[in-house]
Amino acid sequence: MIHVAWPLMILFLPLPWLVRRYLPEAQGSAVFLPFAAALEHAPLQRVNSRRRSVLFALVWLSLVLAGMRPQWLDDPLPAPTTGRQLMLAVDVSGSMATPDMANNASRLNVVQKVAGDFIQHRQGDQVGLILFGTQPYLQSPLSSDLSTVSKFLQEAMVGLAGPQTAIGDAIGLALKVMQANRSKSKGDMVLILLTDGGNNAGMMDPVAAAKMAAGRGLRIYTIGVGAQARQGFFGMSGNADLDEDTLKKIASITGGEYFRATDMDALQNVYARIDRLEPSIGPDQWYRPHSEWFVWPLAFALLLSIPAVWMREMA
């Protein structure tokens, strides 16, 4: 259907007539032309004057029509949304380069693949990304542009935020970002924190940060990545640095859950489980795609203005 976005612009339609009717005309002449009186009764000039008036009227009508912003509205489409704020905090410390996941892929490479797919399926949520090592960095603020957030995750590099692991500071930064965004969204706040180590850097204790988060309504799901630690002939193999006890406490305090991901399949199952616990599809909201049609009367006005001005110059 056709829709007019700014209908009140039609009030400008009689403006040229009002200007001509009520504004005084300029008196006198700068140059006296003794033969001007003889030209006033020329038939061609009167015809051209009428044509110019019609053309200028059509130009003004087209401009007013363009100013009213005619639009074509398509059929309504559903836009599922929950309003949930979901932040991913991904460890990019030096140990995330360890190739102990599927097909000798590094821990970070597997996380980028699986978490990237997870982000793309969170339609309706605002998703953000924090990368942390020795310090946490906000790589992407909360956004509904899931493709961009996923792209930022794919561009993450090991060691980007330092070689150590500041879990408590990452929780603190996530809480700060989400609290600042509360005025825009009243949905649930969820943090998915993924690491392969224990807290050995930063100012905040992870458990204290989790208690603060719980008091503000932030729910945290923690994921420990890396192959299981095993004692072999040549010593320990796998991930022996993971502090599972702390990660379990963080999840328990905030009402979340702790998951262990030893390979790609396990990590995919973890994110599938989180999808079920925190569904992204909520009550449908509707929007109507539209296309702007103001360019057509605007182009028509431009086209008519060419002969109108030419006729005025020839008069």
Per-residue pLDDT averaged across 54-69, rounded?
A: 88
Is the same domain home to 54 and 133?
Answer: no
Instruction: Kindly report, residue by residue over 1-52, the tens digit of the pLDDT.
Output: 788 889 998 898 888 888 877 776 544 444 444 444 444 444 545 556 777 7
Is the same domain home to 93 and 231?
Answer: yes
Instruction: Kindly report, residue by residue over 124-138, the tens digit of the pLDDT.
Output: 788 999 999 999 999
Name the 3-class secondary structure at 123.
coil
Is the same domain home to 213 and 158?
Answer: yes
Is the same domain home to 281 and 294?
Answer: no
d(CA 72, CA 94): 54
Ranges of beta strands (E only) in 36-184 are 70-73, 77-80, 85-91, 126-132, 136-143
Is the same domain home to 63 and 84?
Answer: no
Is the same domain home to 20 and 83?
Answer: no
Instruction: Kindly report, residue by residue over 227-278, the tens digit of the pLDDT.
Output: 775 554 444 545 678 899 999 999 999 999 999 988 888 889 999 888 888 8
Is the same domain home to 142 and 278?
Answer: yes
Instruction: Kindly report, residue by residue over 293-306, the tens digit of the pLDDT.
Output: 888 988 998 888 88
Q: Tell whether the torsion through CA atoms of 74, 80, 82 and 86 is positive or negative.
A: negative
Instruction: State residue 313's pLDDT score.
Output: 58
Instruction: Kindly report, residue by residue over 163-205, the tens digit of the pLDDT.
Output: 999 999 999 999 999 988 875 556 688 999 999 889 999 999 9
Is the same domain home to 21 and 108?
Answer: no
Higher pLDDT, 89 or 25: 89
Confidence of residue 88 (pLDDT cuts 50, 70, 90): very high
Is the same domain home to 208 and 270?
Answer: yes
Instruction: State residue 37's pLDDT score.
Output: 47
d(CA 135, CA 256): 24
Count of structural domains within the chain: 2
H or E stretch covering 311: helix 295-314
Is the same domain home to 66 and 126?
Answer: no
CATH code of the domain covering residue 226: 3.40.50.410
Is the same domain home to 159 and 259?
Answer: yes
Is the same domain home to 122 and 33?
Answer: no
Rg (C-alpha) for the chain, rounded Å, is 33
Confidence of residue 291 (pLDDT cuts 50, 70, 90): confident
CB under 8 Å to 239, separation ≥6 — which residues? 95, 98, 100, 196, 224, 225, 226, 227, 228, 229
Enclosing domain of residue 45: 2-75+289-314
